[in-house]
């Protein structure tokens, strides 16, 4: 055994554990408003606790963690803590650049370790129902932030000619729409087009309809619908899925239904994970450990729980293109999105 290599790996293990621990602290800061309070300017622990309406002793201990992690700076002479603006950019505010919004997802997944370990031993998976409503709530908040800021510039305008088509008027459907926020944003931005959202969760559809009513939208409609059994005689000009295909129990059937429901000359935008189907091609991606871990703890297991394909988060471009071709979608371009973990498959129907 190489003793130097062994010692170096012990240090890496310590780094993994430190990262996990600080993820918990990032989550605490996000849920308590401490990051926004710290972003308001330098403060003592007492002042920061007062800003956030929290208990000083807890705030002081939290500051010990995030300061020793190099996130917050500390001046011992004055007992003042400072969150640098370069760090606040990724931890505070309501925009899509706030990465602290990802932390609740990871801390929540820890709750399901025992169930996933059972699936390792006995097969099957952890059904989607066991992740609701907390998981879907975290994902909804996270993606609302991202799409509020980036939906048009980071996705729609990345596709040549798409914005002009939406402005002139098309029929669009988002499959796996969740609470329908993207549909409602687009319906507001493009009043000449007509928008439909499908999702299997009735409570999510209720929230989508309520938001559309609140926004005064008459061109946004929502229905409870299984992605593998869409209504007959549909012909949408544009269909979208936002990170919805790789979780499906039967993703190939969903893609066949999407292809069937596209009008001639129509376009399918599949926003999904930017990865390769081959592990060796993902090893240089710094986000790969995160993607494979989230897949193990959620994306793959919810599919396997339904005796599904279990594609996993990193199903990858090679397999995605193969499955799109099987669905009759052979004219495909791939564009980067604003989110470095996502790409945009632009599929055109002849």
Q: Both 45 and 133 in a single domain?
A: no
Closest CA to 272 of 284, 261, 258: 258
Q: What is the CATH number of the domain that holds 120?
A: 3.40.50.150
Asked if the structure places residue 103 within a domain, the reply is no
If asked whether residues 127 and 71 sit together in one domain, one would say: no
Whether 95 contacts 145, CB under 8 Å: yes
User: In angstroms, how far is CA 96 from the centroid of its own chain?
Assistant: 11
252 in a structural domain: yes
Query: How many distinct structural domains can be found in the chain?
Result: 2
Q: CA-CA distance, 50 to 33, in Å (whole number)? A: 12
Q: Are 88 and 151 within one domain?
A: no
> Residue 29 maps to which CATH number?
1.10.10.10
> pLDDT digits over 253-266, tens only?
999 999 999 999 99
Q: What is the pLDDT of residue 339?
A: 87
**Structure tokens belonging to residue 40:** 């308001």
Buried b (16+ CB within 10 A) or exposed e, 225-247: bebbebeeebebbbbbbbbbbbb
Task: Pick the last residue of a domain from 64, 92, 120.
Answer: 92
Q: Quick one: 124 and 214 in the same domain?
A: yes
For residues 67 and 168, state if they share a domain.
no
The per-residue pLDDT for 130 is 94
Are residues 325 and 182 located together in one domain of the fold? Answer: yes
Is residue 312 in some structural domain? yes
pLDDT of residue 156: 95
CA distances from 42 to 58, 114, 210, 293 (A): 18, 42, 41, 36
Q: How far apart are the first and last CA of the chain?
A: 60
- Same domain, residue pair 88 and 191: no
In a domain, 102, yes or no: no
What span, in angstroms and rounded, lies between the C-alpha atoms of 64 and 54?
A: 16
Chain centroid offset of residue 26 CA: 18
Number of H helices and E strands in the chain, helices first, is 16, 9
Q: Is residue 268 part of a domain?
A: yes
Statement to judge: residues 12 and 135 lie in one domain: no
**What global pTM score does this model have?**
0.92
319 assigned to some structural domain: yes
Orientation of helix 202-214 relative to helix 181-189, angle to 10°? 30
Query: Which residues of the chain, if any, have pLDDT below 70?
Result: none
**Residue 234 lies inside a defined structural domain of this protein:** yes
**Do 192 and 59 lie in a common domain?**
no
User: Is residue 77, in this structure, part of any structural domain at all?
Assistant: yes
Instruction: Give 268's strand partners.
Output: 239, 347
Question: What pLDDT score was predicted for residue 138?
Answer: 86
pLDDT score of 96: 86
Q: Which of 67, 92, 117 is the last residue of a domain?
A: 92
Of 31, 64, 92, the position where a domain reaches its end is 92
**Do residues 27 and 158 share a domain?**
no
**Which of 281, 122, 256, 133 is CA-nearest to residue 203?**
133
The residue among 180, 174, 181, 156 whose CA lies nearest residue 240 is 174
Give the model's pLDDT for residue 83: 98
Same domain, residue pair 253 and 198: yes
Range of the structural domain that residue 25 is part of:
3-92
Instruction: Kindly state whether residues 38 and 165 are assigned to the same domain.
Output: no
């Amino acid at each position: 055994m190489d003793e130097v290599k062994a010692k170096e790996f012990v240090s890496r293990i310590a780094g993994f554990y430190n990262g996990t621990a600080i993820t918990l602290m990032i989550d605490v800061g996000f849920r308590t408003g401490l990051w926004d309070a710290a972003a308001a300017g330098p403060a003592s622990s007492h002042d920061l606790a007062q800003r956030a309406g929290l208990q000083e002793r807890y705030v002081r201990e939290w500051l010990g963690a995030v300061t020793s992690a190099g996130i917050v700076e500390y001046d011992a002479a004055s007992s003042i803590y400072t969150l640098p603006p370069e760090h606040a950019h990724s931890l505070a505010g309501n925009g899509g650049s706030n990465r602290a919004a990802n932390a609740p997802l990871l801390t929540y997944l820890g709750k399901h370790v025992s169930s996933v370990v059972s699936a390792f031993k006995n097969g099957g998976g952890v059904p989607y129902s066991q992740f609701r409503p907390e998981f879907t709530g975290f994902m909804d908040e996270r993606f609302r932030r991202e799409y509020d800021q980036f939906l048009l510039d980071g996705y729609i305008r990345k596709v040549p000619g798409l914005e002009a088509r939406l402005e002139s008027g098309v029929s669009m459907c988002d499959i796996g729409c969740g609470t329908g926020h993207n549909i409602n944003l687009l319906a507001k931005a493009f009043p000449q087009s007509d928008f439909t959202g499908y999702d299997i969760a009735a409570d999510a559809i209720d929230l989508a309809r309520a938001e559309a009513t609140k926004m005064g939208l008459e061109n946004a409609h929502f229905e409870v619908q299984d992605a593998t059994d869409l209504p007959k005689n549909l012909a949408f000009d544009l269909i979208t899925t936002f990170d919805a295909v790789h979780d499906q129990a039967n993703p190939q059937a969903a893609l066949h239904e999407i292809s069937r429901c596209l009008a001639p000359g129509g376009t399918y935008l599949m926003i999904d994970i930017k990865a390769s189907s081959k592990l060796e091609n993902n090893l240089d991606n710094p986000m790969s450990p995160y993607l494979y871990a989230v897949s193990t703890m959620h994306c793959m297991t919810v599919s396997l729980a339904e005796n599904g394909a279990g594609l996993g988060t990193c199903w990858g471009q090679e397999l995605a293109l193969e499955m799109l071709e099987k669905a009759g979608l052979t004219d495909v371009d791939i564009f980067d999105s604003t989110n470095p973990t996502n790409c945009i498959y632009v599929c055109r129907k002849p």
